[in-house]
Each structure stands twice: as structure tokens, then as C-alpha cells.
């Protein structure tokens, strides 16, 4: 059992290592994604997940010893992890390789067979994944189903033992509804409007550098990208000037010519983003070129919650900026919204950091950085509320795709007669004392 799982993980490892140039080329063809971004967020993250699973799988598979209540002695209790069976993994278009392969690591580590459904919006990557899976795996182990909405609908109507979906909240609802018809458990990795707070005590140079990198990484098409920025009003001007300078430093005076900036996935999404950019609130950027699927790294100033850009997840290179005076007030605003997939804070104050962690609920996040928590296989990743359900990465992936089977081993040398009928007042009193009730 262990040997077969290790062999499957090594096959996925070879698939990723031996074809990294082709993977980067496919991602560039679909999203104009820079090779460095592809290698870091698609290839390296996948390889790290595989490495952690291979290193720890033997330990994860060991039966887990659990305590046994004294009234149930003599006995021992164990949890055994067994495969769920056949799982369906539906991937998104924004990180079309990694967000399909990282869940697959957990599925294979747990001993499952898998069907992969890559996104039709990134056809080059989808086609490459189909060819590589067919080369490195047998069809009864892992197979790929390509296609669009009809193919996805047909898969969702089929019987699986688990469905793992990464995508938008509206589509997540559709997936969950379909899964309910077969009572299929689901893991939903969704999104939402992830807040970013910059306090007046923050290192503004560091904040600007990391905000620009994280917000415009993959042209903002990242589920955990900061969706909007709340900055303490006393440092708004200083921070925004640094963000403007840092945008130019990272992408040049004409970001459209930069080889470090990806493109929007298609024209429909580009037009959606263009409607979110009011001309009178552009602090920097704002340019849109539909022929090049280009939206400039854009910062909007003077934004309110009534603006179109604040009504839905942006999923693009647009950063709306709001200001605040009182931290408790802004934390209250965030609590009043649906729970986000991620949240970020730049502050060097332990008091502010503790308030941030204790007073708002979110899937995961960073203090004094953005995005990078997603790259750790040691941190379970997932949403809460409308931003998703379930966790994966590292051991959490193994457990997501496993059934934890509980077994109690009893022994016969102590068998209390008071357990059995006929019951009496004496046996009742004994049981009350035994169970402390």
C-alpha cells in the first residue's frame, strides 16, 4: 500500500520536474505568465507538496493512538486512515497547473484514484496536463477529462467519493448543489474580497514593495490577492507615493512592455475589470488595451463601499484604497462582510497584530507580507464561510482525501454484569458513579 502511493507520488514528481519548461511555455501561451512566476507558484509549490508528502507519508499512515475513557476499559482505541475511493478534482484557470496538481498530491498520498478536470479557459495548459497524465499514469489511476461546462456538468452528475473544487463562490454553490444529489462530500476552495490593512506604524517601504508584488502577481488573478486596502489616513499619502514608485520600479514606466506582468485570461474578464475603473478615482495606472488583454497595474483612491469595484471580488490588477482613523472601526467593517479567504496586515505593533488575529475571521493570511502563506505545505489552506470549506496542503491534504476510521479493541477479562439487562436500581447507581453523572 505504501509502496504504491510512493510510486504514484514519484510519478507526479517526475512529471513536474521533467516537463517544467513545457509547463512554463503553456502558462505563457494562456496567460502570458512570466517564467519566474510559473516556476515559483506553479512548479516549485507542486514539487514542495510532493516532497513533504513523500517524507511524511509513512508516519501519516500509521494508526493514530487515541485515549479511551476509564468506564470503557480494558480497551485500546485507534484511528486508521483509508482511501475514499474515486475523487474528482476541478481546477481553475488562474493557476491551472498548481491548483490541479497540489490537491492531486493529497489524493495520491491517501491512496485514491482521481479524475482531473482542468479549466477550458487555459487550453494550452489543459492539453499539456492531459498529455502528461496519460504518459506518467495508467488510466485506472489518474485520468483527465477536458472540455467546458457540458463536460463539467456530466462529471458532477456522476458518482464520486469526494469532489475537490477550486474556483468562484457562485460556481462553488453549483458544485455543492450537484454533489448533494449523490451525497458526495466536497472541498470548496473559493475566494472573496480579501482585506489588507496598513497601520501608521508599518514599514511603508517594505509594505509598498510587497503590496505591489502580491497584488499584481499574475496580473492580480490570484484567489488570495489583497482585494482592497485600508490605510490609516495619516500615512495614506506617503504609502501611495511609495506604491506608485514601486510599481514603476517593478514594471517600468510602461508596464505593458514589461515581461514581468501577465495578461488577463480573456476579453470577457477584461471588460468586467474595465467597468471597475472610474476615471475620476485613478491614482495611477488605469489603462486598458483589449487587443492585448492588458489592464495596467491600477490604484484607485477615494473609494467607498458603494463603488462597483467594491461589490465583488476583483480578480485583476486593480487596488482600491480606503482610509481609516480607528482600527476598531475598520475591523468592525471587515467583520460585517462575508468571511474572506485571506487577510493581511502591515504593522510592527504587537497590540495591533493581536487585534487583527483575534477580531476577524479569515481563511489564512500574513502579517507584514502577502500571498506567501499559500506556499507553505505546513500550513493548512482553505476558506471559511462563503470563502470555502475544507483544508489542504501537507497533512491536511492527506486527511481531506482519507476516511478516518475509528476502531476500539475490547478485551474480555473484565466484563461488568451491571452493563446488561435486567437493570436494577443498584446497577443504575453504579453506572451513575462510574460515569460521574
Of 115, 108, 111, 73, nearest in space to 90 by CA = 115
Residues of the chain under the 70 pLDDT cut = none
**C-alpha cell of 333?**
467593517
- In whole angstroms, what separates CA 321 from the centre of its chain? 24
What grid cell was written down for 71?
A: 468506564
Whole-model pTM: value is 0.95
Q: Domains of the chain (ranges plus CATH)? A: 2-190+388-404 (3.40.605.10), 195-375 (3.40.309.10)
Task: Name 182's Cβ contacts closer than 8 Å, sequence gap at least 6.
Answer: 159, 160
| Cα 338 to Cα 170: distance, rounded to the nearest angstrom | 14
> Which element (helix H / strand E) includes 75?
strand 75-83
Selection from 419, 414, 392, 375 nearest residue 91 by Cα: 392
Q: pLDDT at position 71, please?
A: 86
Write down the pLDDT at residue 413.
85
398/396 Cα distance (integer angstroms): 5
Task: Take residue 318 and report the three cell numbers written for it.
Answer: 486593480
pLDDT in tens, 51-69: 999 999 999 999 999 999 9
Q: What span, in angstroms and rounded, lies between the C-alpha atoms of 265 and 270?
A: 8
- What's the confidence (pLDDT) of residue 412? 84
Which of 24, 49, 223, 284 is an active site residue?
A: 223
Query: At which residue does the C-alpha cell 514593495 appear?
Result: 209
Give all strands (DSSP E) within 133-191, no chain letters: 142-144, 162-166, 186-189
User: Is 189 designated active site?
Assistant: yes
Residue 393 CA to residue 129 CA, distance in Å, equals 21
Please confirm, yes or no, whether 366 is among the known catalytic residues. Answer: no
Q: Residue 244 burial by CB count (10 A; 0-12/13-18/19+): exposed, middle or buried?
A: middle
Q: State how far the Cα of 169 lies from the Cα of 365, in Å rounded to an integer.
A: 19
Q: Determine which one of 48, 189, 236, 386 is catalytic.
A: 189
pLDDT at 202: 98
Strand, coil or helix: 87: strand
Report how far residue 192's alpha carbon sits from residue 231's, in angstroms, rounded to the nearest whole number.
20
Give the C-alpha separation, 389 to 212, whole Å: 29
**Pairwise CA distance, residues 246 & 211, whole Å:** 9
Amino acid at each position: 500500500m505504501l509502496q504504491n502511493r510512493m510510486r504514484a507520488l514519484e510519478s507526479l514528481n517526475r512529471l513536474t520536474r521533467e516537463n517544467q519548461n513545457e509547463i512554463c511555455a503553456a502558462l505563457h501561451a494562456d496567460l502570458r505568465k512570466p517564467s519566474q512566476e510559473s516556476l515559483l507558484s506553479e512548479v516549485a509549490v507542486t514539487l514542495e507538496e510532493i516532497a513533504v508528502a513523500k517524507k511524511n507519508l509513512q508516519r501519516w499512515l500509521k494508526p493514530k493512538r487515541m485515549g479511551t475513557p476509564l468506564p470503557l476499559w480494558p480497551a485500546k482505541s485507534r484511528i486508521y486512515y483509508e482511501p475514499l475511493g474515486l475523487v474528482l478534482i476541478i481546477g481553475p484557470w488562474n493557476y491551472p497547473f498548481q491548483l490541479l496538481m497540489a490537491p492531486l498530491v493529497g489524493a495520491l498520498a491517501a491512496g485514491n484514484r482521481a479524475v482531473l478536470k482542468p479549466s477550458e479557459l487555459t487550453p494550452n495548459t489543459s492539453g499539456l496536463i492531459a498529455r502528461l497524465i496519460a504518459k506518467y499514469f495508467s488510466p485506472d489511476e489518474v485520468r483527465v477529462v477536458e472540455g467546458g461546462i457540458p463536460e463539467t456538468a456530466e462529471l458532477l452528475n456522476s458518482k464520486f467519493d469526494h469532489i475537490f473544487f477550486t474556483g468562484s463562490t457562485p460556481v462553488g454553490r453549483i458544485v455543492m448543489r450537484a454533489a448533494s444529489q449523490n451525497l458526495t462530500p466536497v472541498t470548496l476552495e473559493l475566494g472573496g474580497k480579501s482585506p489588507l490593512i496598513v497601520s501608521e506604524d508599518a514599514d511603508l517601504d517594505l509594505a509598498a514593495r510587497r503590496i505591489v508584488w502580491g497584488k499584481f502577481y499574475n496580473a492580480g488573478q490570484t484567489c488570495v490577492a489583497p482585494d482592497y486596502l485600508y490605510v490609516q489616513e495619516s500615512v495614506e499619502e506617503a504609502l501611495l507615493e511609495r506604491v506608485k514608485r514601486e510599481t514603476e520600479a517593478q514594471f517600468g514606466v510602461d508596464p505593458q512592455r514589461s515581461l514581468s506582468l501577465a495578461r488577463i485570461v480573456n476579453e470577457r474578464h477584461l471588460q468586467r475589470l474595465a467597468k471597475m475603473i472610474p476615471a475620476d478615482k485613478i491614482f495611477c495606472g488605469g489603462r486598458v488595451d483589449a487587443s492585448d488583454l492588458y489592464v495596467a497595474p491600477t490604484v484607485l483612491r477615494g473609494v467607498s463601499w458603494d463603488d462597483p469595484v467594491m461589490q465583488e471580488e476583483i480578480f485583476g490588477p486593480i487596488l482600491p484604497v480606503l482610509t481609516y482613523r480607528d482600527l476598531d472601526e475598520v475591523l468592525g467593517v471587515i467583520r460585517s462582510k462575508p468571511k474572506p479567504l485571506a487577510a493581511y496586515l502591515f504593522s510592527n505593533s504587537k497590540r495591533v497584530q493581536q487585534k487583527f488575529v483575534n477580531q476577524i475571521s479569515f481563511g489564512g493570511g500574513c502579517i507584514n507580507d502577502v500571498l506567501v502563506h499559500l506556499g507553505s505545505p505546513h500550513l493548512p489552506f482553505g476558506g471559511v464561510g462563503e470563502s470555502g470549506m475544507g483544508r489542504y496542503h501537507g497533512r491536511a491534504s492527506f486527511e481531506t482525501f482519507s476516511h478516518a476510521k475509528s476502531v476500539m479493541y475490547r478485551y474480555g477479562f473484565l466484563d461488568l454484569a451491571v452493563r446488561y439487562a435486567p437493570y436494577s436500581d443498584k446497577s443504575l447507581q453504579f453506572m451513575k458513579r462510574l460515569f460521574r453523572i
